[in-house]
Amino acid sequence: MVRFKNPIKNFGYLCYRWISAFLDPIKFMKAVPNLISFLFEWMRYKQLPHAEKTRLIDSYPNIHDKTSTTPFLRHYFYQDIWAFRNVVNSHTEWHVDVASRIDFVGMLTTVTHVTFIDIRPLLADLINFDSRAGSILAMPFDDNSVPSLSCLHVAEHIGLGRYGDPLDPEGTKKACKELARVLAVGGNLYFSLPVGKPRLCFNAHRIHSPSQILEYFSDLTLVQLSGIDDDNHFFQTIDQTILDNSDYACGLFHFTKDK
């Protein structure tokens, strides 16, 4: 997510967001020279000694992968490592994840039993895994029953209809209250979402201030606040004011329930 203080650049980025929903203009502009490069390399490859026979019907042009560094989505990359490390260090025998990235969920099954909750269940054949169709607003667990719980980059979407859920302006707040309800006394909740200056970017996500999240989880105790700042640097412990003054940072909240 990129935003600019310059109004002209903001308008340009607004146009880009709308157009890219149908066609990414940046990729489109790069496509022609990249495709030409692909065709030249294909011809050169065919002339190399011991080159395999190639047919047009088997061709598979990947023309956007030549980058100077390995690209990665920093919010998701760092948050998954942060949460995975915490779960491993907790030595929990059962963990519940609510709609986080499935790569993270799959890796967790190598260290503990995982129950995955989503309105779109994950139909995967894994050891130490079960998936249940369910809503973050009404999870199939009793009060104070889940010892280890995660919800990563999910709650900011609740109530916006993006993933087929009902529209609800209080979706994120209600999701937080439901997570707090099912967390066991002494249990651990690993929670993340975009933070900074509060605003709604319909229908992608909401951005909340850290103070809003702490208020939503007022029944829980904050163990540690970690985060990824606007410059995409990860901090195991971060000053809340950095996140308060951010535009599109990521807050990583580790909560527990004392009573």
Nearest CA-CA partner of 157 in 138, 181, 174: 174
- CATH code for the part of the protein at 74-256: 3.40.50.150
Question: What are the φ/ψ torsions at residue 99 (nearest 5 degrees)?
Answer: 65, 20
Q: Tokens standing for 189? A: 């909740």
Question: Where are the CATH 3.40.50.150 domain residues in the chain?
Answer: 74-256
Mean pLDDT of 2-19: 74
Q: Above pLDDT 70, what percent of the chain?
A: 98
Handedness of CA 70, 71, 75, 80 (dihedral sign): negative
pLDDT tens, 33-56? 999 999 999 999 999 999 999 899
Query: Please, what is the Cα angle at 38 between 36 and 43, to 5 degrees?
Result: 100
- Pairwise CA distance, residues 196 & 206, whole Å: 10
Mean pLDDT of 185-213: 98
In angstroms and rounded to an integer, the radius of gyration of the C-alpha atoms of the chain is 22
Q: Tokens standing for 80? A: 């998954």
Q: Which amino acid, 203?
A: N
SS3 state at 120: coil
Residue 2 pLDDT: 47
pLDDT tens, 67-119? 999 999 999 999 999 999 999 999 999 999 999 999 999 999 999 999 999 99
CB atoms within 10 A of CB 75: 22
Residue 3 pLDDT: 52
- Pairwise CA distance, residues 199 & 212, whole Å: 12
Tell me which DSSP letter residue 22 carries.
Answer: T
Rounded to an integer, what is the distance from CA 30 to the centroid of its chain?
A: 27
| pTM attached to this predicted model | 0.90
SS3 state at 36: helix
